Amino acid sequence: MITRTQRPHSRRAAAARPPDYSCRVPKIFSNLNLNGSTPPRVQPNVGEWGPAKVPSTKKKKRMRIWASLALFGAMLAIFLLGWYVYFLMTGSWGFGIGK
């Protein structure tokens, strides 16, 4: 009969092992090259087989940055609109500044 302490894969043994940090640190951008590790001879040129207006990897990165900036701008605009309405209703700057 095998008891709990004799099991080779007990929970305590798994908890005692140090975590494995050998993997790479994730980057800000994922790999946007959809061809992957295929050989160059089988990779289609942009527009050869598929649609002619396929964005390049550089354009995809640029669009991600612009989308992030647009989101930040929209959030800032909503915050400032809310602050302005608060200022109109109370006459106070808010955040403990002045009266």
Reported as a pLDDT band with limits 50, 70 and 90, residue 9 is low
Per-residue pLDDT tens digits for 32-87: 677 778 887 877 666 656 556 677 778 888 999 999 999 999 999 999 999 999 99
Global pTM? 0.51
Q: Which position has the higher pLDDT, 86 or 99?
A: 86
| Rounded Cα distance, 60 and 53, in Å | 12
Domain boundaries, the chain: 56-99
C-alpha radius of gyration, the chain, whole number? 28
